[in-house]
Amino acid sequence: MASENPLLFASALPFGMPDFAAVRPEHFRPAFDLGMTEQRAEIAAITGSDEKPGFANTIEALERSGRLLRDVGAVFSNLTGAHTNTALQAVERDMSPLMARHRNAIFLDDALFARIDDLYGRRSQSGLDAEQARVLERYHTAFVRAGAGRPKEVKDRLAAIAERLASLGTQFGQNVLADEESWKLVLEDEADLAGLSPSLRAASARVAADMGLPGKHVITLARSLVEPFLASSARRDLREQAFRAWGARGEAGQTDNRGIITETLALRAERARLLGYENFAAFRLADSMAKTPQAAMNLLRSVWTPARAQALREREALQALVHADGGNFTIAPWDWRFYAERRRKAEFDIDDAEIKPYLQLERMIEAVFYTAHRLFGLVFTPRPDIPAYHPDVRVFEVTDAAGAHAGLFLGDYFARPSKRSGAWMSAFRVQEKLDGDVRPIIVNVMSFSKAAEGEAALISFDDARTLFHEFGHALHGLLSDVTYPLISGTNVARDFVEFPSQLFEHWLEQPEILERFAVHYRTGEPIPRALLDRLLASRTFNQGFATVEYVSSALVDLEMHLLDEPGALDPAAFETKVLENIGMPEGLVMRHRPPHFQHVFAGEGYSSAYYSYLWSEVLDADGFGAFEEAGDVFAPAVAKRLHDFVYAGGNRRDPQDAYEAFRGHAPDPAALLRKRGLVEQSDAA
């Protein structure tokens, strides 16, 4: 009964936090159905109006439409990513094509587009302020890119393609999660544990206990377990098992994603042609900072050349370590992290096991809060009285510099079988001021290993960087200060959205932060200055490897979407061909192979746009220079510009204009190569 469905009523919890305890999987389908029915009626009221199209009766009315559907969808999408089950997955498979059909019906509505197009044509005479003009432009662009105004047969085909792509993306993601849930490496005895740090032993023992294997240790395909295992296990045979399983996700049996990739690429290419573009990449990037695939390709290739050269030098150094050990094998992908860690120890007298005791998750969480406070005046107060969707999830009330409520922040830090791997930021509610001051509810989702009861959860320096990265996204949502939901928070160009998050990573490496928060989990002593110096000196260590595994993924993504007629493409053969063409160094693989490349195929978030991390890194490398030039990493005037034009600005401005308003000039691409330590190699190349 509708009267018993908690999704249909405002939550009684503080600040409107969804009442997760009351929500069951069977509540979602009727809530979705009602939400779609309500929005169809709201759209009909807009198109049926006899009034001349105006901003209030068309754009603002469109912004107000579908509120129930948006709220239900936010709860549902967050649960299916962070705490799913078979019942929710069944609803997800059913709803993904229906939601696509509903969205298509709106964006392909001739009467609705006629009103928007009329208003857009009169925009210079409509007395709109800058934010309203931006919202109108974004809506007009979205409708045109969806196919509005095109012949009926074209719109019908576009709608069918969108529905099918929605189903394919859902199945792709569920297949990867199934593979990650099903695989485990049981470490039976001390010989299997050779080389593992105390923290990894403890984490893998806890996983084993949770699986009903007390006394054993288990490595799963959670990145927080498998990557440190590959970096530390002295058992080459076990490293190979783990790496092969990690690389083979989505590539066999009932969870084989290769057919999904082939069909997805063909449908995306067809859609692009129907919309007048040569290929999907051209369509996708036309509405980005890059503007063209060639611009993105130029950036990737400019970095690939020095990165590849550096990776080859790194491989030679690792191979020398193998020979020094008496090894009679060539460095393979499952060896790289292990020998790189050995090399880092030799060259910088530092290893992950030495650093981790100083990187307590709790203290690193305090570090991101402290940084946000110093930059923007935010305060994060624990609210254990507000329940979340899982006992591990923490809730914080966020207040601004004036002490006013700014939003809720949820921290979901630990890996579990019900959560897809990786890390991300999302929102249960976005900031807006269309009908009152609506404050956001933002969540960061991580996949760190949970410590044993009573022990501190220790993370790697890369994990700490991920924590800062995702919190930068969270700040983008929390600090948003716009009127309209369409341009709120992270609703910006894909190759700009990573700028605020990657910029925030810089504060992790500041001595002031590490000396204050990197304290030993047993003694409470701060990280020794000598160790800190060695850690910071090693920041560009192994950057050839890191850059090559990322850029190769971005190049394969872009090349796949540059095909105008993908046909019956074989993803594995195409991957091999691209990697051969670019000269992929032996012993290295892509960070994300196509069968488990969720950024690209579990939806369209980063399709033909995985390059955007690198594009945004140009911005963040150059942007942090503003603080360095001020001589203070918390310089108030610089922080205010960063707040006003980036974190609070949403999509109020064109991203290039927003960046230049903050920085005072266009970004300098050379800053990226300097940050990654590739300048000398670039000059030599």
Residues marked as catalytic = 470
Using alpha carbons, list the distances in angstroms from residue 539 to 54, 222, 330.
Answer: 54, 24, 26
Q: Is 631 exposed, middle or buried (0-12, 13-18, 19+ CB in 10 A)?
A: exposed
| Number of residues written out for the chain | 685
Residue 410 contacts residue 444 (beta carbons within 8 Å): yes
**What is the spatial distance between Cα 112 and Cα 103, in angstroms, rounded to a whole number?**
13
Please count the helices (runs of H) and the strands (runs of E) in the chain.
29, 7
Residue 468 contacts residue 505 (beta carbons within 8 Å): yes
What DSSP line would sit under 331-400, residue for residue? --HHHHHHHHHHHHHHHHS--HHHHGGG-BHHHHHHHHHHHHHHHH--EEEE-TTS--SSTT-EEEEEE-
Distance between first and last Cα of the chain: 68
Element (H, E) at 197: none
* Encoded amino acid at 237, one letter: D
Residue 475 contacts residue 372 (beta carbons within 8 Å): yes
Residue identified by tokens 């300048």 is: 679
Nearest to 547 by CA among 324, 349, 305, 366: 305
**What is the spatial distance between Cα 155 and Cα 171, in angstroms, rounded to a whole number?**
25
**What is the spatial distance between Cα 90 and Cα 420, in angstroms, rounded to a whole number?**
16
- What is the CA 385 to chain-centroid distance, rounded? 29
**What is the spatial distance between Cα 453 and Cα 206, in angstroms, rounded to a whole number?**
9
* Encoded amino acid at 546, one letter: A
**What is the spatial distance between Cα 564 and Cα 506, in angstroms, rounded to a whole number?**
40
Q: Which residues are bridge partners to 445 per DSSP?
A: 412, 424
> Residue 344 has which token pair?
């880092």
**What is the spatial distance between Cα 585 and Cα 305, in angstroms, rounded to a whole number?**
12
**Cβ-based neighbour number of residue 264 at 10 Å:** 24
**What is the spatial distance between Cα 384 and Cα 391, in angstroms, rounded to a whole number?**
10
**What is the spatial distance between Cα 611 and Cα 555, in angstroms, rounded to a whole number?**
8
Residue identified by tokens 């150059």 is: 622
**What is the spatial distance between Cα 335 and Cα 619, in angstroms, rounded to a whole number?**
33
Q: In this structure, what DSSP letter does residue 215 have?
A: T
